[in-house]
Amino acid sequence: MEVSKARSAGAESSDLGIAESPADQETSTSSSSGPATLLARTLSPVQKLLFQLVESKLSRPITERRHKRICESFGGGAGGLGCELLKDLALTGFKYLDVIDMDRIEVTNLNRQFLFRLEDVGKPKAEVAAKRVMERVNGVNITPHFCRIEDKSLDFYSDFSIIVLGLDSVEARSYINAVACGFLEYDSEDNPREETVKPMVDGGTEGFKGHARIIVPGTTPCFECTIWLFPPQVKFPLCTLAETPRTAAHCIEYAHLIKWNEVHGSRSFDPDSPEDMQWVYSEAVKRAELFGIPGVTYSFTQGVVKNIIPAIASTNAIISAACALETLKIVSGCSKTLSNYLTYNGVEGLHTKVTEFVRDKDCLVCGPGVLIELEKSVTLKKVRLCFFLQLYSYNSYTFIAVILTVAGHLRFTYAVQQFIDLLEDHPRLLLTRVSVTHRGKNLYMQAPPVLEEMTRSNLDLPLFELMGGVAKDVIHVNGMAGKGDKKQSCLRKLRVVFRGVDVIADIDMAGGA
């Protein structure tokens, strides 16, 4: 879901539609004791960055701000948490919203996704959710997008000042995190450039548990910095599924992973197809009856196959409220923001806790990476040699003798530098056996042999050409780092800047993961 502007919260409001922050209010004097200064003095470094970001956004002319939007994106954007977020943000005063969701409404959604009705089953969630909220909240305008978040271009997301996530998968969060961090730029001292920071507010629920967090790329941990917070998905050994099933989940996965391929061959299973899901459910019931295992239901089959996490309406409401509040704080500067991860546990009683996680400075997504400045002529590996011989005779016999006897006249000139070999001597890298990728494309791979052969021809080409002729961009290199016997495999992020291609200001990109 994307949020762009907000409904007026007072008689004299900013164009964002919320009460203007102290930083946006004009005063008759520039005294250091003004309200904005007093508020700034109480903020942490992260909050000061957000305060300055909001101040710069709100200080723009109204005509310019009118075209800026605040983005809220969802993988399952109008699901349990998505419905709550859409409602909360509209009621908070955000006036222009976009909601993204690729799913259609199912009967099982109706117990907690309150924007939907029985007659809506089969319709796109985004379209119905947008319609319901606009019917209930005066003055709000919501644009639905019935598609995947990956279907939108980077230009679509670049318009927004803040991203609020109500996603239902690790993969979707990683994608949006990479998109937001891809807009981040650093100065020559590896400090994030304020105007390129795109804050995110992320929420998630699992049963009676949930979290809300803020992510300020380059300052607080991004999603990849704390990926370890998410437990690995449960996987079952195929031998257990095929021979000794013990649970209802084993029977369902047997029908899904083994029986489906035996019957349907190359046709892929579609988890969003009611017919395919019904077939898996029927086969799972037969398997469960054969081994005397109870508990196979249609809804449980959906949960296992689609990895659906049980959702509780009250948990969604609590986490949504926290996310909406943090969004309001960021865009208005009305109060301190969360620092930086809130957890909620309602399993036994009620427990909330705020933890301040630390950013990984070497993060391949939000970190600055290692700055490498190169000439346009630099190739990946091989060096073209220009050699000049001073000859005393044109006779072939004499020519050979000259080479052997007048080595002092033999001069070699390196016409092109080597990029991969350069990484071996770089004090912050010390990489050997390097493979190079750029925006998902393999420029050169050391292994396996088939990929090495396919990419070998790139070794003679200038890196500038292989990267599409851009003045600067991010590449990733994989290799062995360290010295002597202490080498280990590692992945490194490099900011490559080509000299003389463009007027390079004091900035360098960090994103593009």
Contact partners, residue 332, CB within 8 Å, separation at least 6:
16, 18, 19, 20, 21, 54
**Main-chain dihedrals φ then ψ at residue 76, nearest 5 degrees:** -110, 60
Q: Which two tokens stand for residue 192?
A: 């994030």
Q: Computed from CA positions of residues 90, 93, 98, 102, in that sequence, does the dihedral angle turn out positive or negative?
A: negative
Residue 97 near residue 2, CB atoms below 8 Å: yes
SS3 of 147-180: the string is CCHHHCCHHHHHCEEEEEECCCCHHHHHHHHHHH
Q: What is the H or E stretch that residue 457 is in?
A: none
Integer angstrom CA distances of residue 55 from 22, 104, 239, 332, 333 = 9, 40, 60, 9, 8
Q: Which is nearest to 324 in space by CA: 125, 70, 138, 114?
A: 70
Burial of 68 (0-12, 13-18, 19+ CB in 10 A): middle
Query: What gap in Å lies between CA 340 and CA 47, rounded to an integer?
Result: 10
Instruction: Answer for the pair 243, 76: CB distance below 8 angstroms, yes or no.
Output: no
Q: Which of 170, 168, 12 minimizes the C-alpha distance to 81?
A: 168
DSSP string of 385-409, one letter each residue:
EEEE---S-SSHHHHHHHHHH-GGG
Kindly report the three-state secondary structure assignment for every residue of 403-448: HHHCHHHCEEEECCCEHHHHHHHCCCCCEEEEEEEECCEEEECCCC
Strands 69-73 and 160-165, by their bridges, are parallel
Beta strands in 277-396 (DSSP E): 341-345, 351-355, 370-374, 385-388
Query: Can you tell me the distance from the alpha carbon of 363 to that of 223, in angstroms, rounded to the nearest whole number?
Result: 10
DSSP 197: -
Q: Which of 239, 251, 366, 386 is catalytic?
A: 239
Residue among 353, 374, 401 at smallest CA distance from 465: 374
Q: Of all helices (H) and strands (E), which one includes residue 507?
A: strand 507-509
239 is catalytic: yes
The helix/strand count (H/E) of the chain reads as 17, 18
Q: Dihedrals φ, ψ of 354, to 5°? A: -110, 125
**In whole angstroms, what is the distance from residue 441 CA to residue 450 CA?**
16
What gap in Å lies between CA 217 and CA 20, rounded to an integer? 24
Residue 379: name the closest of 417, 426, 424, 435 by CA.
417
- The residues carrying an active-site annotation are 239
